[in-house]
């Protein structure tokens, strides 16, 4: 296999990985792929490795990986990335209380600005996804406690 064939295969892995996660390749990455295809290929291989599920040899499940990306993006103020990754985490089973707890934890690293500039917007975005997310705290009878439903 030539270097060009390896790079083309790596780029395709990246495209496939984004499509599996988001159903699209984010515009910034499409731009990189068009104008810096070698850099996109390298990023794509790293992303493919990081996003492996347990069945493919990854240690963390996709929900956890997406939450980590959402929280890291929150700390650095990358709101769009944080919203995309948080939405993917919710799609993978993350609850709004879990997301809220993680977002509040970013305040310990980046200060209240993390919440004010990014965290609150991320949580608001996930509230509007139309996902039915039920609080995991249940009464012994199996019902959510009064005021305990999230979503």
Q: What is the pLDDT of residues 117-134, one digit of tens each?
A: 999 999 999 999 864 444
DSSP code of residue 136: S
CB pairs under 8 A, 24+ apart, for 67-73? 67/94, 67/98, 67/99, 67/102, 70/99, 70/102, 70/103, 70/122, 71/102, 71/103, 71/105, 71/106, 73/118
In angstroms, what CA-CA distances link 55 with 59, 62, 108? 9, 11, 34
Indicate the Cα dihedral angle 17, 21, 25, 31, nearest 10°. Answer: -70
What class does CATH assign to 61-151? mainly alpha
Element (H, E) at 3: helix 3-22
Q: How far is it, in rounded angstroms, from Cα 109 to Cα 37?
A: 34
- Rounded average pLDDT over 47-64: 94
Q: What is the pLDDT of residues 7-39, one digit of tens each?
A: 999 999 999 999 988 899 999 999 999 999 999
| One-letter-per-residue 3-state SS of 5-47 | HHHHHHHHHHHHHHHHHHCCCCHHHHHHHHHCHHHHHHHHHHH
Would you say 21 and 52 are in contact if contact means Cβ atoms under 8 Å apart? no
**What residue ranges do the domains of the chain occupy?**
1-51, 61-151
Given a cut of 50, is residue 104 above it in pLDDT? yes
Average pLDDT, the chain: 87
Q: What is the pTM of this model?
A: 0.78
Of the listed ranges 93-97, 99-103, 134-138, the one predicted with least confidence = 134-138
- Please tell me the predicted confidence (pLDDT) of residue 32: 97
């Amino acid at each position: 296999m030539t270097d060009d064939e390896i790079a083309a295969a790596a780029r395709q892995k990246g495209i496939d990985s984004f499509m599996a996660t988001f159903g699209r390749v984010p515009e910034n990455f499409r731009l990189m792929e068009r104008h810096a295809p070698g850099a996109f290929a390298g990023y794509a291989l790293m992303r493919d490795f990081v996003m492996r599920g347990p069945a493919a040899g990854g240690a963390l499940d996709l929900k956890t990986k997406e939450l980590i990306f959402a929280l890291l993006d929150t700390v650095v103020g990358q709101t769009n990335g944080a919203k995309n990754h948080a939405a993917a985490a919710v799609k993978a089973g993350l609850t709004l209380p879990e997301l809220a707890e993680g977002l509040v934890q970013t305040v310990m690293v980046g200060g209240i600005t993390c919440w004010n500039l990014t965290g609150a917007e991320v949580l608001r975005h996930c509230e509007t996804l139309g996902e039915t997310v039920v609080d995991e705290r249940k009464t012994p009878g199996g019902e959510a406690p009064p005021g305990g439903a999230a979503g």
